[in-house]
Amino acid sequence: MIETAIVVAIIRILFVCIIITAAYIISTRNLLSVVSVYALQSLTLVCIALALYSLEGSIVLLAIAVVTFISKVIIIPYFIATIQEKIRIKRDIEFHYLNPTTSLLISMALMLVIYMALARIVQGTPARENLFFFGAVLGISLMLMGMMVTFSRKRAITKVLGFLSMENGVLLFGMFVTELPFIIEFLIIIDLIILVILTTILSVGIDSTLEDYHKRLHRFHLLEESEEVS
Amino acid sequence: MIVELFVLAIIILFAGTIFPLIAASLDRRSVRTISLSCTIVASILLGSLSLMVLLSGESVFFSLYQSLPAFSLSFVIDRLASFFLLIIAVVSACVALYFTEYIEHIDGQSRRNLLCSCTSLFILAMVLVVASANTLSFFLFWELMAASSFFLVMYEYSQYDTRKAGIFYFIMTQLSSLFVLLGIIVLYVMTGSFSFLPLTTASAPLVTVAFLALFVGFSIKAGIIPFHKWLPYAHPASPSPISALMSGVMLKIAVYGLVRFLLDVFTPDLWWGVLILAAGTASAVLGIIYALKEHDVKGMLAYSSIENIGIIFTGIGLSVIFTASNLPLLATLSLLGALFHSLNHAMFKSLLFLTAGSVVSATHTRNIEYMGGLAPRMPVTSALFFVGAVSIAALPPLNGFASEFLIFISFFSSVSVVDPLFKVLLFFCLALFALTSALSAACFVKAFGSIFLALPRSPESAAAHEVPRAMLIGPGILAATCILLGVCALQIFAIVGLTVPLPDMLLVSLLLLGMAVLTYAMLYFIASREVRVSETWGCGTFSQQASAEYSGHGFSEPLDIIFSAIYRTRTINERTFFDQKNCIFKGGTGEIRLLKVFEEYLYRPIAQQSLSVAKVVSRFQNGCLDTYLLYVFVTVIALIIFLGWFA
């Protein structure tokens, strides 16, 4: 068995990784790397689950790690990569309400606010472990940062990634604070996969002619005139 | 007996509503006549039952339908309710009689069936409002009344003016309903019941809120200044019999509501009375001042309605003041004056609207400047209008005099009993009230003179002829009622068991009649028999021309100058030029227009404010997914902050 202090330290490092990936998802304009960063974020979550498993030994955590790995590291990124290949969009440069710099600044402020709010909430209760408290703060922050992505990006595909990142936040929160029943976790993941498949169908179309296909791409902000040529 | 009569009348009115709807596509006179006959029959039933209650003084309570434990469709007919039922009955019967003929002379083919149906529904709603025994059904029928009257106003919806008037009326009447509902809800919160029961808590802030809400609601419906603006729009736009119903009866329903709540529910404070008195006096004076300036005959009658409602409110305000200062005798007297004036106003105003409708349908114009010379062409109509004008001008011995006299008496007798500060207020109101009476006389001298006397000022007016008999009988009954209520006022009060300090008008009128007969006889015997043919009032000129006449504008000019501070005018110049530098003049228009003070400084700013608020609010809902996600985001953050710092 690995020593607890080392595991805790590893988890903290992983937390930092999650923050970095989240910040990258918010700020990057390169669409291809967003997907890989999402996969990386999910992988970090898998690692956190495994580390927690080594601390607590709960079998559910192991199961979560496995399911997350299969779905979020392999299947969902694979689907999205397929879409991207088909629609040939490389960059996402249109924003609503917030541009990346502002988003980053706001997310920093958000983390601070959530930290302070949660600190006040748990004040009276018997002091929780520092690690779990951080996990909760990070979970909520990740969720809100994902939400920021969903409303500040114009492209449907990035919105979906933002949503997926939100779900990662919920998973993180669940792992550290509430102990979601495994079945619910599993169902959420199935939902996510269905969502991604639906996105694929909607944005690419399974029954459309070429003209219709382009029209749909325009409708979902998946394609621009200039990019169509290249 | 009374219950059965009431239910029968309701059923007949309902039949009158339903029948033209069933035969909506049949453009037959018989359909409309049957429907209107139903209204007449129901009105007669209602009139007789209300007379029975009035004379016997007993109250009848009955419940028709219990839908919910807390709410039943129950009615109470006491003396107050039966008094207003009597007003509804008399006016509705005469209007329906007039309508049978009038409706055949207006456009709309089978749409006229719907007009009949709506009229019945409107009358039905008013009857049920007055008879309601709880506030919830009061409100339900109040709303039914508002909706049906909106359709009546919108009858000629193809005209722009009518649509504008209709929308204006709709908004105002819904505002009124809103305030009434607010008042009723506040009362329910306090008492936990919808019945008209006296409040136990005397002067809690909630009571004041309830009173103010109800007062504003009823004032809007009654047309008290500054909520009056719908009247001069809605009355000219709707068919004349509908104007007669709305002005004669519907405004009284608002008066009924106010009186009912003041008597049965509230224990009024002194300042409530001052508020009602001030609103009433302001409406009376401003209403008649605006009426003087109006040249649309129905618009003028609408403004005059505002004035008369002001007089009624003055009486109610006085009554509240006297109740609050422990003078029950005077309170009863002024309330009697207000109620009697409600009855009288219903009679002479519907008479005036009906005869004005006859005049308008004969001359095809509402502008009194294009009338004139109708007295020889429409002798009966002009005589009927004359009776109405004399009544509304409060000349003895007609009914307007009797009721205004009651209010004057309560003013006079109050001056010696209340404390000094109130004396000043009452003197001031008394002076304004006296001014109102004088001005209303001037206004109707102008109206009668311009419409009926002298020479016709337009070809349509010259070609006018007397209206059919049914259009004379309805107003005729009303005119007879006006005379009867005036001449026999003292006797009528005695029959219902009230003693009032009125002079015996029967004696006065007999004396007046005797004097007239004597004078005529004297002249008949003294005057020379020599026949001289010339034009009357020719002043030496040989041929009279309509253009040389004293016009309505001319008549009101001196008063215009006196009240020029109130009639604000606005000068508008519009010029167009041939070139861009505005050097070569092409054409232009200049206009001096009466400023619509309330509309431009009160209604429009409020409307614009609400529009801009609505614009801002509507921007929140823009159909963009991102925006909605942003709302969710902001909400979540707000929740987190709330949880952290405030929970």
Q: Report the number of distinct structural domains present in chain B.
A: 3
What does residue B624 show for φ and ψ, rounded to 5 degrees?
-105, 125
Rounded-to-integer distance, Cα B332 and Cα B357, Å: 37
Asked whether residue B449 carries a pLDDT value surpassing 50, the answer given is yes
* B162/B283 same-domain check: yes
Provide mean pLDDT across the span B555-569: 81
Neighbours of B235 (CB within 10 A): 28
Write down the pLDDT at residue B70.
Answer: 67
Write down the pLDDT at residue A228.
Answer: 43
- Please check whether residue B281 lies inside any domain of the structure: yes
CB of B107 closer than 8 Å to CB of B141:
no
Distance from CA of A215 to the nearest CA of B (A): 19
Q: What is the value of ipTM here, to two decimals?
A: 0.81
DSSP B103: G
CA B308 to chain centre: 8
pLDDT, tens digit, 9 for 90 and up, residues B29-41: 888 999 999 999 9
Stronger pLDDT, A131 or B606, i.e. the higher one? B606
**Which residue in the set A96, A117, A148 is minimally distant from B640, CB to CB?**
A117
- Please check whether residue A17 lies inside any domain of the structure: yes
Residue of A96, A103, A151, A166 to mutate, testing the B interface (most B Cβ within 10 Å of its Cβ):
A151
Quick one: pLDDT band at residue A215, thresholds 50, 70, 90?
low
Rounded-to-integer distance, Cα A118 and Cα A179, Å: 18
Point out the domain boundary residue: B104, B133, B162. B133
Distance from CA of A57 to the nearest CA of B (A): 32
Q: Which range of residues forms the domain containing residue B117? A: 1-133
* B465/B483 same-domain check: yes
pLDDT, tens digit, 9 for 90 and up, residues A28-65: 888 778 888 999 999 999 999 998 888 888 888 888 88
Distances in whole angstroms, Cα of residue A75 to Cα of each of A72, A161, A193, A228, B366: 6, 14, 8, 27, 81
Contacts of B626 in chain A (CB under 8 A): 96-97, 150-152, 154
Cα A71–A74–A78 angle (5° rounding)?
110
Q: Report the number of distinct structural domains present in chain A.
A: 1
**Which residue in the set B629, B641, B645 is minimally distant from A147, CB to CB?**
B629
Quick one: pLDDT band at residue A223, thresholds 50, 70, 90?
low
The string of DSSP letters for B420-462 reads HHHHHHHHHHHHHHHHHHHHHHHHHHHHHHHHHSSS-SSHHHH
Residue of A26, A147, A219 to mutate, testing the B interface (most B Cβ within 10 Å of its Cβ):
A147
Query: Six-digit token pair at B10?
Result: 């309701």
Cis amide prior to B268 (ω within 30 degrees): no
* B26/B97 same-domain check: yes
- Please state, rounded to an integer, the average pLDDT across all residues of chain B: 89
- Of these ranges, A147-161, B435-449, B500-514, B581-595, the one predicted with the greatest mean pLDDT is B435-449
* B208/B338 same-domain check: yes
- Please check whether residue B558 lies inside any domain of the structure: no
* B373/B447 same-domain check: yes
With an 8 Å Cβ cutoff, are A147 and B632 in contact?
Answer: yes
* B67/B82 same-domain check: yes
Stronger pLDDT, B276 or A76, i.e. the higher one? B276
Question: Which residues of chain B from 611 to 640 reach within 8 Å of chain A, CB to CB?
Answer: 624-627, 629-630, 632-633, 636-637, 640
**Which residue in the set B630, B636, B645 is minimally distant from A97, CB to CB?**
B630
Residue of A125, A149, A150 to mutate, testing the B interface (most B Cβ within 10 Å of its Cβ):
A150
Rounded-to-integer distance, Cα A198 and Cα A202, Å: 6
What does residue B60 show for φ and ψ, rounded to 5 degrees?
-115, 130
Stronger pLDDT, B2 or B647, i.e. the higher one? B2
* B128/B159 same-domain check: no
CB of B243 closer than 8 Å to CB of B235:
yes
pLDDT, tens digit, 9 for 90 and up, residues B201-233: 666 788 899 999 999 999 999 999 888 889 999
The answer to whether B646 contacts chain A (CB < 8 Å) is no
pLDDT, tens digit, 9 for 90 and up, residues B234-281: 999 999 999 999 999 999 999 999 999 999 888 888 899 999 999 999
Rounded-to-integer distance, Cα B451 and Cα B142, Å: 36
H runs (alpha helix) in A72-155: 76-87, 100-122, 130-152
Q: Residue A230: exposed, middle, or buried by beta-carbon count in 10 A (0-12, 13-18, 19+)?
A: exposed
Of B196, B210, B344, B327, give the one whose Cα is nearest residue B260.
B196
* B138/B279 same-domain check: yes
- Please check whether residue A34 lies inside any domain of the structure: yes
Contacts of A125 in chain B (CB under 8 A): none
Contacts of A113 in chain B (CB under 8 A): 637, 640-641, 644
* Percent of chain B whose predicted confidence (pLDDT) is above 70: 97
* B141/B100 same-domain check: no
B/e letters for B63-81, b = 16+ CB within 10 Å, e = fewer, are eeeeeeeeebbbbbbbebb
Distances in whole angstroms, Cα of residue B334 to Cα of each of B253, B403, B521: 19, 10, 42
Of A111, A91, A94, A93, give the one whose Cα is nearest residue A23.
A111
- Please check whether residue A175 lies inside any domain of the structure: yes
Rounded-to-integer distance, Cα B104 and Cα B257, Å: 35
> For chain A, which residues lie within 8 Å of any Cβ of chain B, measuring from their own Cβ?
96-97, 110, 113-114, 116-118, 120-121, 140, 144, 147-148, 150-152, 154, 159
Contacts of B640 in chain A (CB under 8 A): 113-114, 117, 140
pLDDT, tens digit, 9 for 90 and up, residues A191-213: 887 777 777 666 665 444 445 55
With an 8 Å Cβ cutoff, are B640 and A114 in contact?
Answer: yes
Whole-model pTM over 0.90:
no
CB-defined contacts A:B, below 8 A:
41
- Please check whether residue A214 lies inside any domain of the structure: no
- Please check whether residue B529 lies inside any domain of the structure: no
Distances in whole angstroms, Cα of residue A176 to Cα of each of A39, A95, B171, B548: 21, 33, 57, 99
Q: Which of B191-200, B360-369, B436-445 has the lowest mean pLDDT?
A: B191-200
Query: Six-digit token pair at A194?
Result: 């269905």
With an 8 Å Cβ cutoff, are B644 and A148 in contact?
Answer: no
Q: Which range of residues forms the domain containing residue A106? A: 4-199
Rounded-to-integer distance, Cα B104 and Cα B112, Å: 8
* B187/B235 same-domain check: yes
What dihedral angle (degrees, nearest 10) is formed by the CA atoms of A55, A61, A62, A66?
A: -140
- Please check whether residue A71 lies inside any domain of the structure: yes
The radius of gyration computed from the CA coordinates of chain B, to the nearest angstrom, equals 27
- Residue A65's identity, in one-letter code, is A
